[in-house]
Structure 1
Amino acid sequence: MRVLLTGSSGWLGRYLAPLLAENGHEVTGLDVVPGAHTQVLGTVADRALIDRTMGEHGIEAVIHAGALHKPDIVRYSRQAFIDVNVSGTLNLIEAAVAAGNDRFLFTSTTSLMVRDDVRGGAAPDGAWWMDEDFGPLAPRNIYGITKLAAEQACQLVHREHGIAALILRTGRFFPEDDDTLAVPSGLNLKANELLHRRLTVEDAAAAHLAALEAAPQIGCDTFILSAPPPFSRDEAGDLASDARAVIARHYPEAEAFYAARGWVLPDHIARVYDPSRAERRLGWRAKTDFGSVLAALASGTPLPFAHDPDYTSPIVAQESDLCMC
């Protein structure tokens, strides 16, 4: 299948493009900055470029993974977020319909589910259990607002034209340090997050491949992508009050492995992402979870996730290079 992949120079794109190619797909990458998997330079906000690319490359399916993200809020206006995240998504799915494509994937984010009260801590009765039916949705910044609007645009075009449109709300998979959380940080934080809100970039790429194959049979649906949490809903209260005790029930060895590394387990977990719908409907389950971390700590092998505190997104790197000229 001839696939248009936006965001092909980004973190996900560098893993997803070769995975698609390995599975027999012909990939055309589109991004605003050059990259190893990018053939078309330009913005998704340029409808003429999108139409031309669809025709010249005979595109049969679109994976829209390009976007302005939360860290870009300090660099770009709200209008830029609307142009790229909303208008760009509409440009792509309308062009896909015009080209006769039968499937469209939209890479969204669990961030749009994090309202102010969710951001502030646990629910009154325990940790927020966040599946695709969680609501009401009230994104707290322009990033979340535009991603939610783009999701709704995909659903609208599906209803009107029948194109299969799958929305993939990814948990965290970025390699750099968190821009707001400092303690714990780095590897310790990423390991902790695999309990409830993170997945590896490799697993994110694999989920997109599974969704591409399943889309025509599903039609339209939304999926949370995260490592499977070891917890159940009835543990939500205990997670909010004493997460270490809950973790010890599932992984009694965790405390000792963490202590040997100088790490700390979370005292409280305020929200848990539930990816079970993706397993049921897409046949996808993240290969890396918290148990994978403990296995690596036990064996002394490398940790099963990427961590690069110096990672800079391609668009930021390009802007820095221009400023230095």
Structure 2
Amino acid sequence: MILVTGGAGFIGSNFVLDWLAQHDESIVNLDKLTYAGNLENLRSLEGEARHIFVHGDIGDSTLVSRLLAEHQPRAVLNFAAESHVDRSILGPGAFIETNVVGTLNLLEAVRAHWSALPADGQAAFRFLHVSTDEVYGTLGPGDPAFAETHRYEPNSPYSASKAASDHLVRAWHHTYGLPVLTTNCSNNYGPFHFPEKLIPLIIVNALAGQPLPVYGDGQQIRDWLYVKDHCSAIRRVLEAGTVGDTYNVGGWNEKANIDIVRGVCALLDELRPRADGKPYAAQITFVKDRPGHDRRYAIDARKLEKELGWKPAETFETGIRKTVEWYLTNPEWVEHVQSGAYREWLGQQYGHRQAQKESTKA
């Protein structure tokens, strides 16, 4: 038995689905079901006895302690997080509450449980914390990619909150001996990605005939990682990672945002052409850049490959085609996650930026 937090979100739900497809071991799945947590991601597990879903918050120490005592998991994997930079700029408090205070409460509940285990149980137990490359800050065009030894320089409320959670996990290992593992991943993409993030937003807006918003000049560079590759890396780190260590997980795919958008448009031109025959790229609209936008991220994942033998199975070309095809064949999922509140947020986030861009031109 393992306990997964945030297992109804994008990365967490992919991990749960892949784990149960490849293991006999059961999962207790704790998720708060905020806007990005979606039980529809897990619909295929209905009736699956190995999947025990619990609606709750990682910050609820009483609930977490009860789950640990009842199910006695051999590992806790923490995917639960507020994770969108733009939302963190509009409302940083929620990110501090979940990513910092929530992680603290989770660690304390896990520490109390682990401390009461017999010696062999303590030795076998693991706490795996899933984090982001954004804690490292930004890179210049010629800078080497982020290695695990790169200093932390977070530049957004989101990345600052994740950096704080990483530091808490490290401290609980060095102070209390809790057997932890940390992974820092690059930008994920793939099935079940909430359509506020770049790739699903472009797909959804393109099909709806809406503008495709691109921040600034679109030359911000990210390393892109197919979500199922990320899940396989986490499984490998859980299996064989050195306690107390950090492992960077990347896809070796550095690409500018505008090239991502144009590539998705080209795939849609091929797979679902516009009725008027025009290219989807005609819908691209440049909007005012967001405050403090990091220019470049890049992950050096050589440690993970050298020590644990992991490397991504997908190239960006194979992964992005699978992603676009998934959204084309799952329109009901997209429709259901696009609530009125989500549409209102889109207007708030991108509408005023387009107006600012036009005002600047004038």
Structure 2 length normalisation: TM-score?
Answer: 0.62
Distance in structure 2 (CA, Å) of the matches to 1:170 and 1:108: 6
Per-residue CA deviations over 1:99-132 (Å, capped at 9, x if unaligned) read 22521111101112224xx3xxx25xx2442222
Question: How does 1:144-163 map onto structure 2 within 5 Å?
Answer: 144-163=159-178
Which residue identity lines up with residue 134 of structure 1 in the other structure? H
Distance in structure 2 (CA, Å) of the matches to 1:313 and 1:173: 22
* Deviation of 1:140 (Å): 1.1
Per-residue CA deviations over 1:26-78 (Å, capped at 9, x if unaligned) read 10001112623661111111111111121122222100001001256259743
1:27 is the counterpart of 2:43: no
* Deviation of 1:25 (Å): 2.0
* Deviation of 1:150 (Å): 0.6
- 2:118 — aligned with what? none
Relative distance call for 1:7 and 1:318 in structure 2 (3 A) is farther
Q: How many residues align?
A: 272
Identity of aligned residues (%): 23
Distance in structure 1 (CA, Å) of the matches to 2:336 and 2:167: 28
* Deviation of 1:24 (Å): 2.7
Gaps of 5+ in 1: 231-238, 245-256, 294-301
- 2:148 — aligned with what? 132
- 1:84 — aligned with what? 98
* Deviation of 1:271 (Å): 4.7
Distance in structure 2 (CA, Å) of the matches to 1:276 and 1:80: 34
8 Å CA contact 1:165–1:219 kept in 2: the answer is: yes
Which residue identity lines up with residue 133 of structure 1 in the other structure? T
Relative distance call for 1:227 and 1:158 in structure 2 (3 A) is same
- 1:204 — aligned with what? 230
Which residue identity lines up with residue 131 of structure 1 in the other structure? A
- 1:272 — aligned with what? 298
8 Å CA contact 2:327–2:334 kept in 1: the answer is: no
Q: Please, which of 313, 321, 326 is the counterpart of residue 303 of structure 1?
A: 321
Distance in structure 2 (CA, Å) of the matches to 1:60 and 1:157: 18
Distance in structure 2 (CA, Å) of the matches to 1:71 and 1:51: 31
- 1:284 — aligned with what? 310
Distance in structure 2 (CA, Å) of the matches to 1:56 and 1:164: 21
Structure 1 length normalisation: TM-score?
Answer: 0.69
Q: Secondary structure at the match of 1:131?
A: coil
Relative distance call for 1:160 and 1:108 in structure 2 (3 A) is same
1:104 is the counterpart of 2:127: yes
Gaps of 5+ in 2: 43-50, 115-121, 207-213, 260-265, 271-278, 282-294, 344-362
- 1:61 — aligned with what? 75
8 Å CA contact 1:196–1:273 kept in 2: the answer is: no
Q: Please, which of 62, 68, 79 is the counterpart of residue 48 of structure 1?
A: 62
* Deviation of 1:320 (Å): 5.7
Which residue identity lines up with residue 88 of structure 1 in the other structure? G
Distance in structure 2 (CA, Å) of the matches to 1:317 and 1:30: 23
Per-residue CA deviations over 1:191-213 (Å, capped at 9, x if unaligned) read xx9x9601111111111111111
- 2:285 — aligned with what? none
Distance in structure 1 (CA, Å) of the matches to 2:9 and 2:240: 24
- 1:225 — aligned with what? 249
- 1:73 — aligned with what? 87
Distance in structure 1 (CA, Å) of the matches to 2:228 and 2:78: 17
8 Å CA contact 1:227–1:286 kept in 2: the answer is: yes
Distance in structure 1 (CA, Å) of the matches to 2:197 and 2:81: 19
Which residue identity lines up with residue 46 of structure 1 in the other structure? D
Task: Note the aligned Cα RMSD (angstroms).
Answer: 4.3
8 Å CA contact 1:11–1:313 kept in 2: the answer is: no
